[in-house]
Structure 1
Amino acid sequence: MLYLDGTYLKLRREDVANEVVYLVVGVTEEGYREILGFYVGGQESANGWRNILLDLYSRGLEEVLLGVFDGLAGLEEAMKAVYPKADVQRCVVHKVRNALHAVRKKDQPAVAQDFKPIYQANTYEEAKNRFKEFKENWQKRYPKVVATWEKDLDVLLTFLSYPSTIRPMIYTTNIIERTMKEIKKRTKTMNSLPNEKAAEKIVYLQAIDYNERWATRRLRGFGEAYEALQEMFKQRYSGP
């Protein structure tokens, strides 16, 4: 499984500019995490992500079950171009957060409460039915919110086709967001970095530190899901 996220650091070029750090965290079917790659520079784009995924593929990462990321335009297509057999999961937490920003403050608690039965459902069909109820409740007042959820519903509910014990780990990008926050924390006191090499050094050292700590820490739920995940790999990649 791959978690993809990007954040911005301040680099001093001719002036101080925000430039992206792309980061990829992999999780094995056993539940062990590893930062697989990063790239510093430019502005976040689907093409930038495609190049990073192509690099990972060329380095030997040829079989991926699932990609988990936020809703950058074109990222799903980039993922599918490199890993056509992989599933895609859009971050539900980000989607809920964005929806709440688009509704009146007085309605936010009720809307948030009505979202919960969708992503806390036990099956895809149950989630679809809960979304229908959400649509009936809020269509007239917030048609754009309902429309964007309806459009993305399938990629928001991908996690429901995976073992229940790992669903809390894969319906959100929380795993990689915590890593990104630590990187930004390390650079916050520096105001801006002199160049890409300085930024790359900080990210590299942070990645080494994380990977050493993660090497012996297994994510919760993957032990119970291991055999099911192995079977999913077999069905998806062992055939013609």
Structure 2
Amino acid sequence: MYARGMSQRDISSTIDDIYGFMLSAEQISHITDSVLDELHEWQNRPLKAFYPFVFVDCIYVSMRGDKGVSDQAVYVILGYDLKGKKDVLGLWMGDTESKHHWMQVFDEIKARGVQDIGFISMDGVSGLEDGAKSIFKNVVVQRCIVHLIRNSLKYVPSKDYKAFTAQLKKIYGAVSLRAAQSEFEKFCETWSKYPGAIRVWKDNFRHVEQLYQYGSDVRRVMYTTNAIESVNASFRKVTKQGAFQSETAVFKVLYLRIKELYKKWKGHSIQNWAIVMNQLCIDERVGQMIRKYSAL
């Protein structure tokens, strides 16, 4: 029940309805604390040597401190392995705006066994790209297209959202780089009345151009964030119950949720994974990684 987002009060009420006795919040917390050793083991478990794709995103949770309640970011790192299987590599809180912090995060991932990462899709958080590249020299960092869309929509009236995003899709969904560049020129001309939105895309258009170094199915994996969005949506169901007292309390409830996700993912791989792998093999950089780690 706790893993499915029920508050301690709701759990106590449900148990009373079914079994006829009440549990205090302290008793429920003590019961769920039994997972802490398992959580610690999960946080430090060995990882695969190579992940073709890694996605970094965050959710915000309410934390209660000396100065009251504030929202803090919990960063989630999701990886796809060579078989197209999904895994949550870990959860992190802290000073997420510094290169030093992200160096520590990726150094921890490396210490747990990861030797190479093909691509990292991220939301543009300061310091992440430099921190990742300082540990994994050959990684390609890709700005998340969905986050760029959200950032640009801040400068667009809601009445134009549909038309604006439809024209954006013609850019990152184009059949070739030349077609994408042509669509981008049309886009800039059509929406020039919203210079803030245009600036978001001009500043980051290299991340769109970068996509076209790879096949269409690889591009789709890189710009489609359904998997990480689904993970975060699942997390939000269990973090909306109120303010947390500590990082441990946050990680405990998220880990219990991750266990539920693992059950859903078991036996499933990413759609069209064989095609994705074939397109990756064509690229010299990633192809070498695939051959190296497939042989292990």
TM-score category (smaller protein): 0.7 to 0.9
Could you tell me how far apart the structure 1 residues matched to 2:227 and 2:98 are?
Answer: 21
Which residue does 1:129 correspond to in 2?
A: 182
Could you tell me how far apart the structure 2 residues matched to 1:50 and 1:26 are?
Answer: 18
- Give the share of equivalent positions with the same residue, in percent: 28
Point out where structure 1 has 5 or more consecutive residues left out of the alignment. none
Aligned 8 A contact 2:154 2:197 in 1: no
Could you tell me how far apart the structure 2 residues matched to 1:223 and 1:117 are?
Answer: 26
- Write out per-residue CA displacement over residues 129-155 of structure 1, whole angstroms, 9 at most, x where no aligned residue: 21112122233x122322221121111
Could you tell me how far apart the structure 2 residues matched to 1:230 and 1:208 are?
Answer: 32
Which residue does 1:227 correspond to in 2?
A: 278
Aligned 8 A contact 2:218 2:280 in 1: no
Could you tell me how far apart the structure 2 residues matched to 1:196 and 1:107 are?
Answer: 40
- Write out per-residue CA displacement over residues 142-190 of structure 1, whole angstroms, 9 at most, x where no aligned residue: 223222211211113433333322433320333112211211211212x
Could you tell me how far apart the structure 1 residues matched to 2:207 and 2:201 are?
Answer: 10
Q: Secondary structure at the match of 2:164?
A: helix
Which residue does 1:2 correspond to in 2?
A: 54
Note the C-alpha offset of 1:86. 1.2
Pick 1 or 2: higher relative contact order, CA cutoff 8 A, min separation 6.
1
Note the C-alpha offset of 1:231. 4.9
Note the C-alpha offset of 1:120. 1.1
CA RMSD of aligned residues (A): 2.3
Could you tell me how far apart the structure 2 residues matched to 1:213 and 1:76 are?
Answer: 31
Aligned 8 A contact 1:25 1:36 in 2: yes
Specify the structure having the higher radius of gyration (Cα): 2
Could you tell me how far apart the structure 1 residues matched to 2:222 and 2:279 are?
Answer: 15
Amino acid paired to 1:150: K
Could you tell me how far apart the structure 2 residues matched to 1:180 and 1:137 are?
Answer: 34
Structure 1 6/238 Cα, relative in aligned 2: closer, same or farther at 3 Å? same
Q: Secondary structure at the match of 2:254?
A: helix
Could you tell me how far apart the structure 2 residues matched to 1:158 and 1:111 are?
Answer: 22
Could you tell me how far apart the structure 1 residues matched to 2:79 and 2:109 are?
Answer: 11
Out of 92, 101, 110, the position equivalent to 2:145 is: 92
Which residue does 1:172 correspond to in 2?
A: 224
Structure 1 length as normaliser, TM-score? 0.87
Aligned 8 A contact 2:64 2:245 in 1: yes
Could you tell me how far apart the structure 2 residues matched to 1:29 and 1:89 are?
Answer: 19
Structure 2 length as normaliser, TM-score? 0.72
Note the C-alpha offset of 1:217. 0.8
